[in-house]
Structure 1
């Protein structure tokens, strides 16, 4: 077996077997080092070729772009260093300017639509180090004129930025005048467009306002027609029924037995309730058209007045009342008193069969939201399955024989609260009282 491997094996089989093993391992280590070095050299060579290929590609692209710039009808060339100091400025047919090392933004500024030079704008643009520069500049001193500046970024072998090389094209005076005229035209067009937009918006607002006024006028007319119909057309036959029932009672009541007189009493009572319902319906219809007179309202004080009137109407009742002090809001005091009269009146009415009635009026507020007002009692309550009917017109959850009423009060409460921008709802349990909540803006 030729080669180092055979020699190593022969030595391992001779008298000096230990020395042979050492030599064998040494030859194997040398062989591995040779293989690793060869692989590293190959990989390094491949990476070097790739890097050179990429660099050559970048150089070819830069040269191609530079040739494209030179192919343009340029009036001069320029060159800057990594700190954007102007190293050369050579205008065709003129002597080159000396390399003063002055920053570009101290010689030129970006040309604005108004024809002024923005040196800070040029400084910000150059410090971003874009791969290409394409901008219009104006000389800051002397009659240097305006220029169309084109430039390419330069890089060294280590990839460090080395400044810009580029060309410059002189902007003719006619271009400056055209640009100024174009800017003036654009400004005039923008002003005209703004005026047209403002006029169109004003016309739209006026049209919307006129539509709202017409809708309000139509609603007021419909309201007046409805009120006339309710006041006259419905009351007329009712007055006939009530009048003849009273005449019959007065003139022939002695000839009727107890059952006949009871029937007449029922007819007259129903007519009286119908009159009350018509009055309530008229009041409800007027709530939508009545203007709101917003002002600070002390709800605690209003509640005291309402409960004092209820107490005077039934002085024999013993009711525990708790009213949270200093509850204030913004709203119409007349309409908000109607809300409290209905809600506190219901609490007073539906707790009338309790031995120890209790009525509470409180408020709470969670965070920046609106105030939540709560009126609660320990009265009869109602079944929550019928809560959706609670605020409907002429909707009642208790019979008139148990608790009197027209069924319009809670509908009026909802309409008033919603006109103030709030909402009203209720929670209850049969035999455990009711809680009515309503919100009002702060």
Structure 2
């Protein structure tokens, strides 16, 4: 179900913000306490002390929570940056080509190994399905498409580049493809991440 951002913006502009409601509630509580202190001084002082103690505890809890969240985000941010740097370093050490597809098996990544000339194929391949660039040596395009639709890890697929001319002719010949399944946050298939080794 999609949300209409314009209707959401209109609805949110008609509603008072949460901080305004909290401020009104706080003013009402303060007014009630002042009236109680003025009309019943002894009971009012006891209630005022309890209220101030409660407010102090709430403020300290909120500050502690806020500091904890910031520290956790900072720690996870540093860990994520370190993991990305490690992944980039491993990608550069990889002797094979790296490739990735989306859930529809369209190529979204085709990365040359370190020392190899960069690919001029990436731009044209980004909107093409994997079976439009390769076919199984022993089964053709339809068999490759069937294997991909199984959404299972690819052990070793011997494929033939479907390139006749143009700048992408360097990717003709036979390739050995390997890949693992990628899942999104909901556990649904989101494509393949794999390697390609030229066998010519």
> What TM-score do the two structures reach when normalised by structure 1?
0.27
Residue 33 in structure 1 maps to residue 58 in structure 2: yes
Residues 168, 53 of structure 1: alpha-carbon distance in 2 compared, 3 angstrom cutoff? same
Aligned counterpart in structure 1 of residue 84 of structure 2, from 45, 59, 63: 59
CA contact (8 A) 2:100 2:191 kept: yes
Distance in 2, matches of 1:64 and 1:94, equals 19
CA contact (8 A) 2:178 2:195 kept: yes
The residue number in structure 2 matching 1:168 is 196
SS for the counterpart of 1:123 is helix
Question: How far does residue 150 in structure 1 lie from its aligned partner after superposition?
Answer: 5.1
Q: In the TM superposition, what whole-angstrom CA distance separates every residue of 1:196-232 from its partner, at most 9, and x where no partner exists? A: xxxxxxxxxxxxxxxxxxxxxxxxxxxxxxxxxxxxx
SS for the counterpart of 2:176 is strand
Q: In the TM superposition, what whole-angstrom CA distance separates every residue of 1:20-40 from its partner, at most 9, and x where no partner exists? A: 122112211111112211232
The residue number in structure 2 matching 1:148 is 176
Distance in 2, matches of 1:93 and 1:40, equals 48
Residue 123 in structure 1 maps to residue 151 in structure 2: no
Which runs of 5 or more structure 2 residues have no equivalent in the other structure? 1-36, 165-171
Question: Higher relative CO (CA 8 A, sep ≥ 6), structure 1 or 2?
Answer: 2
CA contact (8 A) 1:80 1:165 kept: yes
The residue number in structure 2 matching 1:18 is 43
The residue number in structure 1 matching 2:6 is none
Residues 31, 17 of structure 1: alpha-carbon distance in 2 compared, 3 angstrom cutoff? same
CA contact (8 A) 2:182 2:189 kept: yes
1:278-297 equivalences in 2 (<5 Å): none
RMSD: 4.3
Residue 104 in structure 1 maps to residue 111 in structure 2: no
Which runs of 5 or more structure 1 residues have no equivalent in the other structure? 1-11, 173-442
1:193-204 equivalences in 2 (<5 Å): none
Structure of larger gyration radius? 1
The residue number in structure 2 matching 1:302 is none
SS for the counterpart of 1:32 is helix
Residues 157, 48 of structure 1: alpha-carbon distance in 2 compared, 3 angstrom cutoff? farther
Q: In the TM superposition, what whole-angstrom CA distance separates every residue of 1:317-357 from its partner, at most 9, and x where no partner exists? A: xxxxxxxxxxxxxxxxxxxxxxxxxxxxxxxxxxxxxxxxx
Question: How far does residue 44 in structure 1 lie from its aligned partner after superposition?
Answer: 2.1
CA contact (8 A) 2:135 2:162 kept: no
SS for the counterpart of 1:21 is helix
